[in-house]
């Protein structure tokens, strides 16, 4: 696999995004991100009863920041310019601290399907804002993103098991906005900061911001089953350290809208993993929703001239 810390070529970013969208290495990195992020839904379901949202986020980010630090040290840390450091830290707190807290808390009051449906408003926000900021509106993206989102809506409808609490809905929407904003800011930062260093600094900033939950984390680790603690550690290593590294690699080589649209596959992948690992068979509506997610993302990967 190619070096995932190589900087994108900023002067020809728009052209390179089209040229590299279907590069096999980029596709493999995108698939890695999708599968690992989907697996986090399965692990959260098992560890949630033993870790409150803040304690879970803190342990996950401490592990993730440590692993990313090792990767960055091996690859060679290249500090961002002084002018970019405040934005990098702010991005890390928003993405790795506030987003995690919002989503973890939302999933304590609403079911996973509803949360996934609301959070996946983010790619549409990215497509709109990214297009207005200069990425343009490629026809495949404009066609594929709504198709994929329709699949997410079907999955959310089919997996809902009760009335969603208003607080949970609001927090899931907050998570969607944070996701969209973080993706766009990260795209801008990747023009001058290499992917591994950026992700490590951001994860570290997020972990530091979560330190007030240290007493709860210590208490949870002391009383939770070992399997639950290992589950949170897994999320720190794989859905965080590995998946966010591959996410940054893809984002550095494709448009923010196209990269974000790829994550529409996450709910479909979560359904498959839940079926295989938890023996929770999907309904026909959920299978249809998963198929639409895959079709929509496939459409977004098709080459085309931009509109606008």
Average pLDDT, the chain: 79
* 18-64 tens-digit pLDDT: 446 667 888 889 889 888 988 887 787 778 889 999 999 999 999 99
> In sequence order, what are the beta bridge partners of 306?
138
Tokens of 101: 């807290």
84 and 193 in contact (C-beta within 8 Å)?
Answer: yes
Angle at 66 between CA 270 and CA 191, to 5 degrees: 75
Q: How far apart are CA 38 and CA 16, in angstroms?
A: 28
| More confident position, 2 or 203 | 203
Distance of CA 81 to the CA centre of its chain: 26
Q: 102 and 149 in contact (C-beta within 8 Å)?
A: no
Q: How many CB atoms lie within 10 A of CB 84?
A: 18
CA end-to-end distance (rounded Å), the chain: 34
pLDDT band at 74 (very low <50, low <70, confident <90, very high): very high
Bridge partners of residue 307, in order along the sequence: 137
CA 190 – CA 87 distance, rounded (Å): 12
| DSSP sequence for 296-308 | HHHHHTS---EE-
Residues 170, 102: Cα–Cα separation, whole Å: 9
């Amino acid at each position: 696999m190619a070096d995932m810390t190589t900087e994108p070529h900023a002067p020809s970013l728009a052209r390179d995004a089209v040229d590299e969208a279907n590069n096999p290495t980029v596709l493999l990195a995108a698939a890695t991100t999708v599968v690992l992020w989907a697996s986090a839904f399965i692990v959260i379901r098992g560890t949630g009863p033993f870790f409150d949202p803040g304690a879970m986020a803190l342990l996950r980010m401490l592990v993730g920041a440590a692993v990313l630090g090792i990767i960055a040290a091996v690859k060679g840390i290249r500090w961002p310019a002084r002018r970019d450091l405040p934005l990098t830290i702010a991005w890390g707190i928003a993405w790795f601290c506030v987003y995690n807290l919002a989503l973890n808390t939302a999933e304590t009051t609403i079911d996973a399907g509803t949360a996934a449906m609301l959070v996946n408003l983010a790619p549409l926000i990215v497509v709109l804002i990214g297009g207005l900021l200069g990425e343009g509106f490629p026809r495949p993206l404009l066609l594929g993103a709504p198709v994929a989102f329709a699949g997410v809506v079907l999955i959310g409808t089919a997996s809902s098991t009760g009335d969603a609490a208003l607080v949970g809905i609001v927090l899931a929407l907050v998570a969607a906005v944070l996701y969209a904003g973080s993706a766009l800011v990260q795209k801008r930062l990747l023009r001058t900061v290499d992917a591994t260093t950026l992700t490590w600094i951001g994860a570290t900033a997020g972990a530091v911001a979560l330190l007030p939950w240290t007493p709860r984390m210590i208490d949870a680790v002391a009383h939770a089953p070992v399997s639950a603690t290992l589950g949170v550690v897994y999320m720190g290593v794989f859905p965080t350290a590995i998946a966010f590294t591959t996410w940054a690699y893809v984002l550095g080589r494709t448009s923010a809208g196209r990269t974000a649209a790829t994550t529409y596959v996450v709910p479909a992948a979560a359904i498959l993993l839940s079926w295989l690992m938890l023996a929770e068979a999907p309904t026909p509506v959920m299978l249809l929703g998963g198929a639409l997610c895959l079709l929509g993302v496939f459409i977004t990967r098709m080459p085309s001239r931009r509109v606008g």
